[in-house]
Amino acid sequence: MSEIQQSIYVVDDDDAMRDSMSWLLEGEGYRVACYSSGGEFLAARHAEMRGCLVLDVRMPEMSGLELYEKLAALGSKLPVIFVTGHGDVPMAVAALQRGACDFIEKPFHNQDLLSRISRALELDRQNCARRERDDAISSRLEQLTQREREVLNLVVAGKLNKQIADTLEISMKTVEAHRARVMDKMGVRTLAELVRAVMQLN
């Protein structure tokens, strides 16, 4: 897996809160980028961003939840930690139900925030590794011929060589040759590995 350059993106309209978080996180050795509004973050956002987003729920013009919805619509996979006041906890819980990573109530202990960020960054690493693995499997699938794809689909469906031969009206020997080529192109050694690779994409 390629080395991931992660950053922590802080979006908060409160200057003092942004400065305080930036000071805390940079002091821990993290790369930090701060934004004063959802619009400012959206303007800077790109698909290659890695790390996590620390997002204030309540902001003027565009709330944290509105920004979160826009990012979800754009297909963003950045883990999001919401920062909320006591009255906004129900909103933060609703965001968790829609896929946000975590939330933390103000005022919070620095260590609580750092532990949540550590978990979010680990989640981002796992997501990135999964996407790289899925991309590799997809590119291998694209190398298969039409007949090899047919054989693969029947193998993954649990069909035996004789059943595949009958279904495709080809000889057992031809099925075995196709299976061997499928295993080779997919870079797997066992049937279990082959099935697992295909199922991971579904």
In the 3-class helix/strand/coil scheme, how is the chain assigned residue by residue? CCCCCCEEEEECCCHHHHHHHHHHHHHCCCCEEEECCHHHHHHHCCCCCCEEEEEECCCCCCCHHHHHHHHHHCCCCCCEEEEECHHHHHHHHHHHHCCCCEEEECCCCHHHHHHHHHHHHHHHHHHHHHHHHHHHHHHHHHCCCHHHHHHHHHHHCCCCHHHHHHHHCCCHHHHHHHHHHHHHHHCCCCHHHHHHHHHHCC
pLDDT tens track for 112-122? 999 999 999 99
Q: What are phi and psi of 104, to 5 degrees?
A: -140, 140
Mean pLDDT computed over 57-74: 92
Q: How far apart are CA 83 and CA 102, in angstroms?
A: 9
Q: Take residue 111 and report the two structure tokens written for it.
A: 């260590």
Q: What percent of the chain has pLDDT over 70?
A: 98
pLDDT at 112: 95
State the pLDDT at residue 1.
39
What are the tens digits of pLDDT across the range 166-197?
999 999 999 999 999 999 999 889 888 888 88
The pTM (predicted TM-score) of the whole model is 0.76
Least confident range of 65-74, 89-98, 131-140, 170-179: 89-98
- Residues contacting residue 149 through CB under 8 Å, at least 6 positions apart: 141
- Position 24 scores a pLDDT of 96
What's the CA gap between 150 and 14, in Å, rounded? 58
pLDDT at residue 2 in the model: 44
Is residue 101's pLDDT more than 50?
Answer: yes
pLDDT score recorded for residue 195: 87
pLDDT at 34 over 50: yes
